[in-house]
């Protein structure tokens, strides 16, 4: 800002980042320095002090020190130290007025210029003194004596040289008179006669013509001596000097003065000069052109007619005070232009003093600052606007920080709930396994079946609760795929009507032509049902729920959503709503406004987790007494939505017995899974760590490895990779309660989520065995390859989609090693075709 102000004032500015840079600029010839006080606090000022101490006698470098506490010792104790160090320093307290700052800067610059002028005069004076001494010692001044009665002239060799004669040449009074320029001869005689008649000193300057015809200026100074009784001088003694050079300089000076006057007339500033009493004696042409006045109109104090009558009394008071005190005058006031309009001018008047300190002239300048004032007003308005914007941004930042705090709090709670849910999964594993096997072992005991059924129901509810915790923590295993949300919601209407009861009126609004959404359909159904149940609970006396499905486009990326198209599922009720405080905590886990035992506080948390993990978001809007709207945004996809598979329990399929290596560091969960596998007829070998599993793989042949994902030192994926390096093509099942398994590394693996039922475990084994059948070694035989492949094809519905046999054969040929050949007889009876 300071640099901009000085640049605008026409001062060349060089910013310096540190004291070494400053000292370098000072040594390079700076005019003055503007220094912030804090730049000197604690800094190494030795180089700066050395520069100040080594200044020549004519130099007193000016500093402007910007301080927050002024230059008084009572407010700024360090002022004396800074004053002692810097010497010529002006303290300017911040914040400062731009005009004051620019004025101080220009004053400092003028001071420095005067120092350089003083240096020039000092140099010139010394040079003149040296020349004078040299002239006196070398005879540059020619001495002469004239005896008046006899007109006898005695001239020194140097005097003869001044008149163009050699030292041994004759030089009489007549020769001197003859050498005078005809135009100056009479004036020279009159001056000499006056001196002789009055006895006063004789002093004259005139031109002489040398024998070679060149013209030179001669200065002659003499004093009459040896007066007679009539007081008439008998002799005049004096000196002569050649002043040709001085005359030429004076002529050059006159030329310079004329050029300076022309320059003063051409500059845009109004300039003028006044006598010591204030009478103005000269204006530049810019003054006349601006005011439209004539010299006779503004002579003396005539300039008063161009001032604003309202401001003139104060101008006169200040001007008369400067005339009395000799202090510079500075003031801003309006001046009338040639059209009668007033414009603001910054007026500065400085005294011009002679060698004795007496004021010989006043030099004044009037600078038009009307545009500068307009810019300053605009800057003040801009500063006010910036201040308002800063206040607004500060409020926005505080709001954003508050939201960030809430998000971080929810993330921390999510991490905690995820860890707790993972431990609960391991605890539920043996409970579900034991109950299932007991239920099958005592099929005819009605009481036992009833008790086990109730225990299984409680375990399933616990499983659902854990699923919600993992959903909130974004750690549940989602199977996102293209889903027609409209069809899915339509299919849920009967379930929702039965669940919500007859007092709730449900209205469904589905936009036409909606694309598919990328979401796990089972988790979405659960989320929608949670939202509907929350709405029902908010309307104890009945009411209306509106489910609206539409397309929403997000234009710009944000921290919550990326740009793109989203399927919007909005659930709006007419219930009692939520106030602002309740709305802020609505998605926090275990937060509930329902009575004790009427809610877990995980419904909205689960929906929030599903939305975030699916790449969408949950928005809540509510006001007390006006109902609530929950908006679930799910990313849309260009893929075609597939049919939703029936989620009913599958019949337990045991398949052929397998040799299975089971790995889990949690002993209770591992033993329960081993019991399930043994009950399915498989041979199970247990390992409590990845290291133990590697040793067993090296010593035994296994058909499949089932391993927990999260284990110390080596996770399940790393274990499977190491196992397949030992047993290529080994079938594998990853068991986990988390969802953070890298999909690119687990693409060819079967993932089984904890806790699982025995039917789910059997299905996972069949999936893993079917996937690895195409990659099995020839030693397993072609029959096992076809058996596994057939199970896979039947499960994936290839036969129902009438996939051409050739596509399957081509796919199989690419997967099987070239040395493994399949025979037509192995197809017979499997596809009902003998042609492939």
Establish if 644 belongs to a structural domain: no
Instruction: Give the pairing of strands 704-708 and 659-663.
Output: parallel
Which position has the token pair 């020190």?
65
Does residue 50 contact residue 61 with C-beta atoms inside 8 Å?
no
Establish if 397 belongs to a structural domain: no
For residues 783 and 765, what is the distance between their CA atoms, to the nearest angstrom? 18
pLDDT tens for each residue of 256-281: 777 777 777 767 788 888 999 989 88
Establish if 491 belongs to a structural domain: yes
Same domain, 234 and 274: no
Across the strands, what pairs with 221? 203, 239
**According to the model, what pLDDT value does residue 221 have?**
84
For residues 746 and 728, what is the distance between their CA atoms, to the nearest angstrom? 16
**According to the model, what pLDDT value does residue 579 have?**
80
Q: Which residues of the chain have pLDDT under 50?
A: 474-475, 595-598, 646-651, 773-836
Same domain, 192 and 287: no
- Picking from 605, 637, 669, the residue at the C-terminal end of a domain is 637
**According to the model, what pLDDT value does residue 310 have?**
92
Using alpha carbons, list the distances in angstroms from residue 56 to 19, 25, 61, 88, 648. 21, 17, 10, 14, 102
Instruction: Give the pairing of strands 142-147 and 233-242.
Output: antiparallel
Does residue 445 contact residue 391 with C-beta atoms inside 8 Å?
no
Same domain, 108 and 177: no
Q: What is the DSSP string of 768-835?
A: HHHHHHTT--GGG-HHHHHHHHHHHHHHTTTTTTT--HHHHHHHHHHHS-TT----GGGTTTTSS-S-
For residue 619, the SS3 value is strand
Same domain, 145 and 129: no
Burial track 652-691 (b if 16+ CB lie within 10 A, e otherwise): eeebeebebbbbbbbeebbbbbbbbbebbebebbbbebbe
Same domain, 52 and 105: yes
Same domain, 144 and 219: yes
For residues 768 and 172, what is the distance between their CA atoms, to the nearest angstrom? 140
Domain that residue 224 falls in: 139-249
Q: Sort residue 802 into left (φ over 0), alpha (ψ -120 to 50) or beta.
A: left
- Picking from 373, 395, 412, the residue at the C-terminal end of a domain is 373
Structure tokens at 645: 């598979």
For residues 568 and 486, what is the distance between their CA atoms, to the nearest angstrom? 11
| Total number of domains constituting the chain | 4
Same domain, 486 and 630: yes
Does residue 551 contact residue 511 with C-beta atoms inside 8 Å?
yes
For residues 418 and 474, what is the distance between their CA atoms, to the nearest angstrom? 8
Same domain, 484 and 585: yes
Let me know the angle formed at the C-alpha of 67 by 35 and 16, rounded to the nearest 5 degrees: 20
For residues 140 and 243, what is the distance between their CA atoms, to the nearest angstrom? 11
**According to the model, what pLDDT value does residue 651 have?**
45
For residues 588 and 405, what is the distance between their CA atoms, to the nearest angstrom? 13
**According to the model, what pLDDT value does residue 571 have?**
92
**According to the model, what pLDDT value does residue 596 have?**
43
Same domain, 312 and 210: no
Chain-centre distance of CA 92, in angstroms? Answer: 31
Same domain, 282 and 207: no
For residues 208 and 174, what is the distance between their CA atoms, to the nearest angstrom? 13
Same domain, 487 and 590: yes
- Picking from 637, 667, 686, the residue at the C-terminal end of a domain is 637
Which position has the token pair 């849309």?
636
Establish if 355 belongs to a structural domain: yes
Look up the pTM and report it.
0.33
Domain CATH number, residue 361: 3.30.450.20
What are the percentages of helix, strand and coil residues in the chain, rounded to 5?
A: 45, 20, 35
Establish if 189 belongs to a structural domain: yes
Same domain, 323 and 242: no
């Amino acid at each position: 800002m300071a640099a901009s102000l000085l640049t605008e004032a026409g001062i060349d500015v060089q910013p310096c980042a540190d004291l070494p840079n400053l000292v370098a600029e000072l040594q390079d010839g700076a005019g003055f320095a503007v220094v912030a006080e804090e730049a000197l606090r604690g800094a190494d000022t030795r180089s700066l002090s050395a520069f100040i101490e080594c200044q020549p006698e004519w130099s007193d470098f000016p500093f402007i020190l910007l301080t927050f506490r002024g230059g008084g010792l009572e407010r700024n104790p360090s002022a004396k130290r800074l004053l002692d160090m810097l010497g010529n320093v002006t303290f300017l307290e911040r914040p400062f007025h731009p005009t004051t700052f620019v004025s101080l800067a220009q004053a400092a610059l003028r001071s420095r210029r005067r120092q350089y002028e003083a240096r020039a005069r000092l140099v010139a004076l010394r040079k003149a003194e040296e020349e004078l001494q040299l002239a006196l010692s070398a005879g540059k001044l020619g001495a002469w004596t004239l005896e008046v009665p006899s007109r006898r002239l005695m001239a020194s060799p140097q005097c003869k040289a001044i008149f163009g004669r050699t030292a041994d040449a004759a030089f009489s009074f007549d020769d001197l008179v003859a050498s005078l320029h005809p135009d100056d001869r009479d004036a020279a005689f009159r001056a000499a006669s006056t001196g002789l008649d009055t006895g006063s000193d004789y002093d004259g300057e005139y031109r002489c013509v040398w024998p070679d015809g060149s013209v030179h200026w001669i200065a002659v100074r003499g004093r009459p001596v040896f007066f007679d009784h009539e007081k008439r001088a008998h002799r005049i003694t004096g000196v002569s000097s050649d002043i040709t050079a001085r005359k030429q300089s004076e002529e050059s000076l006159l030329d310079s003065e004329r050029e300076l006057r022309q320059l003063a007339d051409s500059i845009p500033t109004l300039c003028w000069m006044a006598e010591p009493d204030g009478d103005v004696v000269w204006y530049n042409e810019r003054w006349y052109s601006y005011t439209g006045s004539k010299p006779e109109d503004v002579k003396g104090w005539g300039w008063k007619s161009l001032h604003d009558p309202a401001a003139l009394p104060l101008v006169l008071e200040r001007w008369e005070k400067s005339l009395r005190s000799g202090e510079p005058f500075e003031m801003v006031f309006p001046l009338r232009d040639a059209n009668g309009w007033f414009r603001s001018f910054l007026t500065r008047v400085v005294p011009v003093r002679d060698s004795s300190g007496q004021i010989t002239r006043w030099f004044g300048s009037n600078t038009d600052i009307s545009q500068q004032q307009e810019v300053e007003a605009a800057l003040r308005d801009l500063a006010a606007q910036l201040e308002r914007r800063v206040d607004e941004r500060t409020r926005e930042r505080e709001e954003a920080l508050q939201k960030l705090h809430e998000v971080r709090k929810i993330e921390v709670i999510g991490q905690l709930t995820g860890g707790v849910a993972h431990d609960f999964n391991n605890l539920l594993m043996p409970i579900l396994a034991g109950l299932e096997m007991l239920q099958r072992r005592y099929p005819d005991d009605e009481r036992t079946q009833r008790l086990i059924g109730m225990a299984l129901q409680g375990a399933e509810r616990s499983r659902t609760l854990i699923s919600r915790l993992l959903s909130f923590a974004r750690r549940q295993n989602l199977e996102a795929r293209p889903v027609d949300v409209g069809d899915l919601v339509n299919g849920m209407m009967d379930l929702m009507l039965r669940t919500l009861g007859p007092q709730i009126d449900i209205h469904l609004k589905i936009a036409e032509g909606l694309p598919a959404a990328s979401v796990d359909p089972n988790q979405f159904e659960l989320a929608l049902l949670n939202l509907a149940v929350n709405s029902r609970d908010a309307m104890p006396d009945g009411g209306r729920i509106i489910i609206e499905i539409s397309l929403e486009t997000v234009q710009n990326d944000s921290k919550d959503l990326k740009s793109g198209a989203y399927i919007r599922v909005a659930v709006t009720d007419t219930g009692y709503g939520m106030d602002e405080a309740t709305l802020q905590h609505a998605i926090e886990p275990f937060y509930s406004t329902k009575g004790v035992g009427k809610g877990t506080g995980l419904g909205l948390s689960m929906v929030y987790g599903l939305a975030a993990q699916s790449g969408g978001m949950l928005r809540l809007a509510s006001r007390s007494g006006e109902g609530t709207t929950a908006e679930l945004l799910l990313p849309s996809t260009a893929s075609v939505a597939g049919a939703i598979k029936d989620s009913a329990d599958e019949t337990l399929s045991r398949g052929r017995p397998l040799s299975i290596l089971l790995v889990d560091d949690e002993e209770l969960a591992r033993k329960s899974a081993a019991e399930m596998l043994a009950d399915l007829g498989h041979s199970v070998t247990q390992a409590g760590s990845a290291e133990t599993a590697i040793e067993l793989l090296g010593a035994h042949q296994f058909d499949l490895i089932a391993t927990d994902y999260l284990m110390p030192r080596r996770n399940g994926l790393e274990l499977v990779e190491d196992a397949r390096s030992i047993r290529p093509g080994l079938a594998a099942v990853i068991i986990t309660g988390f969802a953070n398994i890298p999909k690119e590394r687990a693409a060819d693996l079967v993932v089984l989520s904890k806790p699982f039922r025995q039917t789910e475990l059997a299905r996972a084994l069949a999936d893993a065995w079917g996937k690895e059948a195409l990659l099995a070694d020839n030693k397993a035989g072609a029959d096992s390859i076809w058996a596994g492949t057939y199970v896979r094809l039947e499960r994936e519905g290839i036969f129902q989609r009438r996939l051409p046999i050739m596509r399957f054969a081509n796919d199989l040929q690419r997967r099987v090693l070239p040395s493994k050949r399949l025979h037509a007889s192995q197809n017979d009876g499997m596809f009902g075709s003998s042609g492939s």
